[in-house]
Structure formats: C-alpha cells, structure tokens
Structure 1
Amino acid sequence: MIEESSLIDFGAEKKFYTKEEYIFKQNQPALFYFQIASGEVKMNNYQPDGKEFIQAIFSAPRSFGEPPLFADIVYPANAMATQRSYIWRLPKSAFYELLRQKPDTHLRVSQAIAKRLHYKALMAAELAQQSPENRILKILDYLKFEVNHIVTPFGYRTDLTRQNIADLTGLRVETVIRTLKELEQKNEVKIINRKVYR
C-alpha cells in the first residue's frame, strides 16, 4: 500500500493495539487512514442476537477502513486487532494531501479499494446462492489469489479457524466443518494437521 516513509513524511503515527482492542467502532466518524505495520485486524458487525459477522480480515501491509474517508460517512463496521498489532494512523486531511501530491499512491489505494469492492460483490452473489461449498471456496480463493498471490495447487494454507470461516461466510461452524470434509473428498482442498490448504 502506502510506503512507510511517505506515511512518516505526512505525519502518521504508529500506534500499538492489544488483542481484541478496538481501532474504531461502528457508527464512529472516519477521521484517519489506517495501515497495518504488523499484526492483524478484523472488521465485524454484531447481529441483534449477539452473533458476530466478520466482514474481512486484514494483515500487514494492508490498509482498511478507507471508503468512509472518501464518502465522508461513519464506519459501517467495527475494526478490532485480533493479535498484538502496530498500525499506522494518518489524519484524514494529511491523507488527502498525500494523495494529491502522490498520484501513483492514489492509484494504488484506488485499486485496493476496487479489489475489495469486487470481492464484496462476489461474496454477495455467493451468499445469495446459499451454497456452503461455493461460499467457502470463494473466501479461500480470494485469500489465495488476490491477497497472497499464490497460484500453485494447494500452495495456500489458511490460518483462519473454522469459526473464522463461519463468521466470514454466514454459515454455522458445524456446516463449515462438514463442508470442508466434503471439499477434501472432492480434492478441492487438503486438510493436514487440521489446517486447510487450497
């Protein structure tokens, strides 16, 4: 994403977050650009019954939470560190100035947002189909090809737990466990020492 030297030049600070600490909460105004230096962040919502729905999981050096900065709207979800994390935080006005002065960076940020929107559209279509196999494979393929750029068969090992996959796809964890076994029988995934390979 944005080079750390550029973030520093425009006044970003690197903040430490403990595991399960909120970076921002749903309905708060968007005041900063965030980019992960180390660690991992999930964006989520909670249903009225308390069930968590994970929108996305981000790791270094990815950014998160940009669309509300551009649209001048509140955050539609929470952002929380899933482990000890260091995160660059750049004020909105400085972020705008950086993009004005660095058009190549602006293009990279726009491309990253476009890829995320594409993923959201794909997932919306999969959720509408109600096919557990398609939902799970779509998540794994997105992480394999788009995030990690791995093309070898079974070359991607996900660190997502069965519960994470359930929260990302809107499935029950029991359904995820059963469906992964079915996908393994069809040679769509491999399961080695409880880790899923795609």
Structure 2
Amino acid sequence: MINEQLLLDFNAEICEYSKGKIIFSENNTAKYYYQIVSGAVKMNNYNDDGKEFIQNVFYKEQSFGEPPLFIDVKYPANAVAFSDCKILILEKESLFKLLYQYPEIHLNITKSLANRLYYKAIIASEISSQEPEHRVLRFFDYLKKEVAKTEGEFTYKIEYTRQQIADTLGLRVETVIRVVKNLEKKKKVKIIKRKVFR
C-alpha cells in the first residue's frame, strides 16, 4: 500500500514473526502502522468458550490494524502471524508525518479502509441471512477477486483450512466440509490433494 522505501525513509523497521506469534493483542493501545512484506496475518477474537472467530486475513503488501490509530481507541482484535512473515512497522507519529507530506497516500488508505468496511458489511449480511453454501462461495470469490485479484476457472488456491473457513464464517467445520464437497460436485470448486481451488 505504501512504498516500502518510503516507509523505511520515515524510520520504519522490518520485524520477523514466526507462525502463531502474537503481533498485538485485543485491548492494546494502537501505537504502530503495520504493513506486510511477506507472509500473512490474521485478526481474531475468542468467545467465552474459547472458540476462535477470524475477523480477516491480510497478505503481502496489505496493512492491518489502522483504524484505532486514527480514532485513539484500543485494538478490537488480536493480530497473529498466520504464517512466518516479515512486517514493516512504523510509529504512529511518523505515519502521520508521512501522510501530511503525501496526501495521496492518505487517500489510498481511506479507500482501503472503505473496501474493508464494505466487505465486512457483505460478510455480516451473508452470515445472518444466507445458506452455508452461498456464504462459502461468496467468501472464496472475495479472496480470489479482491485479495488475490485472480481470474480464470480454478486458478486460485484457498489457503484457509476447513476450520479457518468455519471460524471466519460462523459455521461448524463439519458444515464447511460438506459444503465444499457439494461445491465440487457442482463443479464450482476443484479439490486437488485436499486443497480447494476456485
């Protein structure tokens, strides 16, 4: 989103996180801007029973955790390394200096946040009113078209496990397994070596 060299020019640091490492926790004060150089990061919460709900997953060149920086609130979720990853980290004050000097970057961040809000509204609507098969297919299409920006039949490999899909969409893992099998029968997805392609 923001040119890596520009971030480094404003004293960003590159930090490495191994899979499963917590980057920040729910209710922490927001102090930094995070942008992924490689790997992936998930935002999650846990309910009272310890069940995980995945809010979103972010990939290379995406940023995460920005809203609390702009409105001085605590993080509403945890950020956890979804895989081994490298992340550019910039202090809040330095980010603001950068944005004042480069207002077009501020506009790009605003567009990115608007996209995420739109996606959240779509997913909330899907979870509350749609059948599981529709929810899963809509989620796959979001990942393929909006995140990976990939086109063509069966060109996108879903990196989520069945459990992670369930945690993201508020479904039981057994339901996701059944839905994916049905989608394969309908030739809407392809399963190769247990991996799902859309």
The TM tier, using the shorter chain, reads over 0.9
User: Deviating runs (4+, > 2 A) in structure 1?
Assistant: none
Deviations 1:67-98 (A, max 9, x none): 11111111000001122221111111111111
Amino acid at match of 2:88: W
Amino acid at match of 1:56: N
Match of 2:181 in 1: 181
Match of 2:146 in 1: 146
Amino acid at match of 1:132: P
| Distance in 1 (alpha carbons) for counterparts of 2:27 and 2:139 | 26
| Distance in 1 (alpha carbons) for counterparts of 2:191 and 2:18 | 31
TM-superposed deviation, 1:41: 0.7
TM-score, normalization: structure 1? Answer: 0.96
Q: CA RMSD in A?
A: 1.1
Match of 1:47 in 2: 47
TM-superposed deviation, 1:130: 4.4
| Distance in 2 (alpha carbons) for counterparts of 1:76 and 1:164 | 19
| Distance in 2 (alpha carbons) for counterparts of 1:8 and 1:90 | 8
What runs of 5+ residues in structure 1 fail to find an aligned partner? none
Deviations 1:149-191 (A, max 9, x none): 1121222111111111111111111100001111112222111
| Distance in 1 (alpha carbons) for counterparts of 2:42 and 2:114 | 19
Q: Secondary structure at the match of 2:94?
A: helix
Match of 1:126 in 2: 126
Deviations 1:10-60 (A, max 9, x none): 111111212211110001111100001112111000010000001111111
| Distance in 2 (alpha carbons) for counterparts of 1:32 and 1:70 | 11
- Between stretches 184-193 and 122-131, larger displacement belongs to 184-193
TM-superposed deviation, 1:133: 0.9
TM-superposed deviation, 1:116: 0.9
| Distance in 1 (alpha carbons) for counterparts of 2:84 and 2:144 | 24
